[in-house]
Structure formats: C-alpha cells, structure tokens
Amino acid sequence: MFKVLVSDPISDLGISLLVEASDISIDKKTGLSEDELVAIIGEYDALLVRSQTRVTERIMTAGKSLKVIGRAGVGVDNIDLDAATKRGIVVINAPDGNTITTCEHTFAMMMALARHIPQAYAKTIGGVWDRKSFVGVELRNKTLGVLGMGRIGSEVAARAKAFGMKVLGYDPFLTEERADKLGVTLATVDDVVRGADFITVHTPLTPETRHMIGRAQFEVIKPGVRIVNCARGGIIDEQALIEAIDAGRVAGAAFDVFEEEPPAADHPFLNHPKVIVTPHLGASTVEAQENVAIDVSEQLLHILRNEPYKNAVNMPPVPGDLLAKLEPYFTLARKLGSFAAQITDGPVKEISVSYAGELADVDTQPLTRQVVQGVLAHHLGSDQVNAVNAMHLAKMREVNIVTTKSQAAKGFTNLVTVTLKTGREERSAAGALLNGFGPRITQIDKYPVDVESQGHLVLISHHDKPGIIGRVGTLLGTNGVNIATMQVGRKIVGGAAIMVLGVDKAVPKDVLSQLEELPDLNSAKEIQLV
C-alpha cells in the first residue's frame, strides 16, 4: 500500500483516481506549517501539492520514503528541485491542464483594465452613479504585444485575433513559420515595447526574464500602453511600472502575480486607481483544477507502480554501465548547450551534436539530452527542463535535433561539438574533458580556445588590431569589472577574432553596450555557466 499526502486544496474529482485505487491510501491535510509537515512526512510515499506548500529540503530529508512529489499546475518554484534530485525523488507537474483557464483570466484582466470594471463596480455598489470617470478603450484595431509564445501566450494571441487585435509576438523559439501559422507578427522585445497598446507577458521567471520590462523599457514605451501580468511576479519591474503609471506614460496595469506573494499591505499596486489585481487566480477554475489534478494523479500512480511516466521536471538517475562511461561528460554536454544558446541570436531551429573519439562507439542519447537541456533551460528556465523532458520540449517547439559521430577527435580522447542553427545564424562550441582541468571549451565557431566552462564569461568578437585588448581592459576596469582570465583566438593576422574573458561578476548591460561601441569591436555577449 502506498501512502499519499495531499497538502494543498486540490480538486476532489481530480484525485478520485487516487482515492479509488486499491493500492493507495490518501490523507488530506492542508495548511500545515513546515514543522508540522516535517513531523508527519516520514510515513508517506508521495506528496501532492499546489502552489501554497513550500516543499523544502528539510521536508524531503524527513521524507525518508518519499518517491514522488506531484505539483498540480505548471510552476515548480515552490519545490526545491535540487534537493529532490539529490534524493532521487521524482518531481512531476501538470503543464497543460490550466493553459486555457490562465489564458481566459488574462483576457478577463485585459478587458477589465480596458473598461475599468473593478473601479466602476466599487463606485456603483458604494452608491455613486459615475459614468464620466470610466470611459474605456476598445480592443479592436489595437496592437497586443505577447512576450512568451508558449502554451498560454499562443492561446492569448489566438483570442486577441478574434477581438480584431493585431498581435506582435516574441519568444526565443518563435520562428517566422510558426508565427505565420499563428497569424502573429514576429517581433523583438523592443518592437513590442515601442509598438504595442497592450502588453501581456507569458514567460517563466528566469534570470533573463526578470524585469524584462523595466526602467529602460518604460522610457521608450508607447505612451498610453496597458500592461498585464498573469505569469510570474518579477517579469515586470513593479516599482518602475508604478513610476511609469504615475508619470502618465502607462495608462494602467492588471496583475495576477507579484514579486512577493501575498504582497505587503502597503504594496503600491494595492489601492492604486490605475492598477487592478487578483490574488494569483490564473489557474483557479473548476475545470483547470480538475485537469491538473487528474494529470498529476495519473502520473503519480505510474511512478509509484514503477510504470513509464511523462512530465518529470527533475532528472532521474541514469542506470547501467553506460552511466559510468557517459556521466563524466554530462556537465560538459549541458554547459556546451547553454554556452551555444547564450551566444546565438534568433529562434533555435536546429541543435546539432557531434561526438568524436571513443564516444562515437557508445549510445550518446543521454548526452544529447543534456545538450538539449542546456540549450532549452536558457530560455525556458532551469526548473522546467530536465534530461527527461528536454527532447519532448524541443519537439513541441519544432526544434530539429541532429547527431553525428566520427573517430577523429583532433587529439582529444573525446570531443563534443554543439552547433545551433537559427533563422539568423549558425554558431558552435566544442569541448572536451582535460585531465586535471575538467570540462573545457576548446573551440568557439572556427576559433580554437581553451576556456574554463564555469562562472561569468564575456565573448567579444572584434578585428585583430593593436590596442583592442587594452581598450577592453581599461573599459572593464573603469567599471569595476575584474578580468580573471583572457583567451584570444584568430585565424589570420589582422582578420576577424574573438576574445573570451573570465570575469569575477556579472557585467552590467550598459557596460556591454559601451564595449560594443569601442572601435574595431563588433559584439560583446555575457555568458553565465553554472
């Protein structure tokens, strides 16, 4: 008999599969503190949560029999994934079940914002018949900018078209072809910021999406824009947004999610006349809660019964002899994927992995998964992608995966080369394990290098001219950025060249822009490898 604990309010109908299963005994105990959970979790094989329970390392340590944690919903930011992976606890989610519901909430928020419905309601029930203060705007003929064209963003775009809106879409995986299919104009963040009358965000919260609409964007944003966030708090800089509303640049905002939830009582969004809010209700419909509970219950049963399952968010152990051969290359493969993703512009269409040397003779599929994970995690968030779901996510995004093998490893025992093709360019990074030095990047595009695959790097492309290294060093030094290592690669004297700097901390965006303005310097990209 497997024991399952449900620690958040989850649809009864959705978990009926578990209730009725003869090999499952289920307890529902909601609203427990961390201490209370720690005290009882030891007797359970599975834990089923929504977003309220914070599943911490302490809880997992106490959960000696825990095999699986199920999240009835998409985001797993309330679960310590590393702690689960370390303990071999599988974390599953239900990514599809609340897509339509959240899309509809986004629309409800957008329309309520356009027509001042919450403000007008409050006045009317307060006995004031005020028709003058609440003149709204139509959606028809307006431009909607959608940042994040995944499951929810694509559904929002489809509905916006039905309202007669023009849709600008941006997503690192949105190709011209897919945008055409969806009837959306492929745009950049800048196009959206400068051109949209309404902006809605549907990305995960990652280091790249945090404050993707911040002070710099509000300075150039289309005056009178209305902004909706039903994704994750922090994608839009809340403080900068309030300043932009108060300065009259932004007409209003509708937020379902907050940088801190619940927001503090003095949060500037609460009681602001131009901001409407809901308490993270995006997924709160009867249908969505049933869907996600059914999905996650099915998966949970499969895992407990040792049957094949999908939607694992963390990485299960790779068993067998193969692991011994491949495991040393896992980190290298993932970092090469991440490095290639960070240096490449445009929507990824193809990930090509070439294995040379002894790896050519073994099944390298688990390594390819690591590469794909590295590429996708850069865009989708490292909590959403793992070695189990990486290939599936790539397929959903119509990303082609190609593997080639050869014996010639340019003097290395094994050489792994990752090449990314986008609509705009093709970039590659190769790497090897060097005795005593661990994973190293040994080639970037056509340039041989020897770079430690760790920490903050800056990749500069420039012309091989005297003085360039000094100018870069001076500019970074003036801005307080310490250079720890430097590698320069070129094919011919005086031709195109690259410089890879290892730096002690992240380089601010404005310093990267200043680098790009230096004479003979073409581009400067910051890369972070963890």
Ligand X SMILES: NC(=O)c1ccc[n+]([C@@H]2O[C@H](COP(=O)([O-])OP(=O)(O)OC[C@H]3O[C@@H](n4cnc5c(N)ncnc54)[C@H](O)[C@@H]3O)[C@@H](O)[C@H]2O)c1
Ligand Y SMILES: O=C(O)CC[C@@H](O)C(=O)O
Which stretches of the chain bind ligand X, using CB under 6 A?
74-75, 95, 98-99, 102, 147-153, 170-173, 202-204, 208-209, 212, 230-232, 256-257, 280, 282-283, 379-380
- The owner of tokens 């090509």 is 352
Short-list 86, 5, 65, 45, CA closest to 314: 86
* Joined tokens for residue 218: 């509000």
Based on the residue annotation, tell me whether 261 is a catalytic residue of this protein: yes
CA distance 76 to 170: 24
Say which entry of ligand Y, ligand X, none residue 204 contacts (CB below 5 to 8 A, set by partner kind): ligand X
Examine residue 311 and tell whether it contacts ligand Y (CB under 6 A): no
Q: Which residue is nearest to ligand Y (CB)?
A: 73
Q: Judged by CB, which is closer to ligand X: 209, or 414? A: 209
Q: Judged by CB, which is closer to ligand X: 228, or 300? A: 228
Say which entry of ligand X, ligand Y, none residue 200 contacts (CB below 5 to 8 A, set by partner kind): none
Alpha carbons within 13 A on the beta-carbon side of 312: 20
CB 473 within 8 A of CB 437: no
Torsion angles phi and psi, residue 257, rounded to 5: -135, 155
Say which entry of ligand Y, ligand X, none residue 309 contacts (CB below 5 to 8 A, set by partner kind): none
Examine residue 461 and tell whether it contacts ligand Y (CB under 6 A): no
Shortest separation between residue 143's beta carbon and ligand X, angstroms: 17
DSSP 137-181: --STT-EEEEE--SHHHHHHHHHHHHTT-EEEEE-TT--HHHHHH
Q: What's the full length of the chain, in residues?
A: 530
CB 25 within 8 A of CB 4: yes
Examine residue 169 and tell whether it contacts ligand Y (CB under 6 A): no
- Considering only residues 326 to 355 of the shown chain, the ones binding ligand Y according to CB under 6 A are none
CB 355 within 8 A of CB 385: no
- Considering only residues 243 to 282 of the shown chain, the ones binding ligand Y according to CB under 6 A are 280, 282
Which of 37, 47, 50, 383 binds ligand Y (CB under 6 A)? It is 50
Facing residues of 169 across strands? 146, 186
CB 109 within 8 A of CB 144: no
Based on the residue annotation, tell me whether 249 is a catalytic residue of this protein: no
Q: Judged by CB, which is closer to ligand Y: 98, or 389? A: 98
Q: Judged by CB, which is closer to ligand Y: 73, or 347? A: 73
Catalytic pick among 57, 260, 261, 358: 261
Say which entry of ligand Y, ligand X, none residue 263 contacts (CB below 5 to 8 A, set by partner kind): none
Q: Judged by CB, which is closer to ligand X: 149, or 420? A: 149
Based on the residue annotation, tell me whether 425 is a catalytic residue of this protein: no
Say which entry of ligand X, ligand Y, none residue 50 contacts (CB below 5 to 8 A, set by partner kind): ligand Y
Shortest separation between residue 171's beta carbon and ligand Y, angstroms: 18
CB 33 within 8 A of CB 310: no
Cα distances (Å, whole numbers) of residue 448 to 86, 205, 415, 526: 36, 35, 13, 19
Say which entry of ligand X, ligand Y, none residue 172 contacts (CB below 5 to 8 A, set by partner kind): ligand X
- Considering only residues 59 to 118 of the shown chain, the ones binding ligand Y according to CB under 6 A are 73-75, 98
Examine residue 209 and tell whether it contacts ligand Y (CB under 6 A): no
Say which entry of ligand X, ligand Y, none residue 148 contacts (CB below 5 to 8 A, set by partner kind): ligand X
Examine residue 204 and tell whether it contacts ligand Y (CB under 6 A): no
Examine residue 283 and tell whether it contacts ligand Y (CB under 6 A): yes
Instruction: Give me the helix-helix angle, 117-125 and 99-115, nearest 10°.
Output: 60
Catalytic pick among 116, 178, 267, 280: 280
Examine residue 284 and tell whether it contacts ligand Y (CB under 6 A): yes
Q: Judged by CB, which is closer to ligand X: 195, or 502? A: 195
CA distance 416 to 353: 7
Using CB under 6 A as the binding criterion, the count of chain residues that bind ligand Y stands at: 10
Q: How many other C-beta atoms lie within 10 A of the C-beta of residue 374?
A: 27
315, exposed or middle or buried, with CB in 10 Å at 0-12, 13-18, 19+? buried
Active site residues: 232, 261, 280
The residue ranges that bind ligand Y (CB under 6 A) are 50-51, 73-75, 98, 280, 282-284
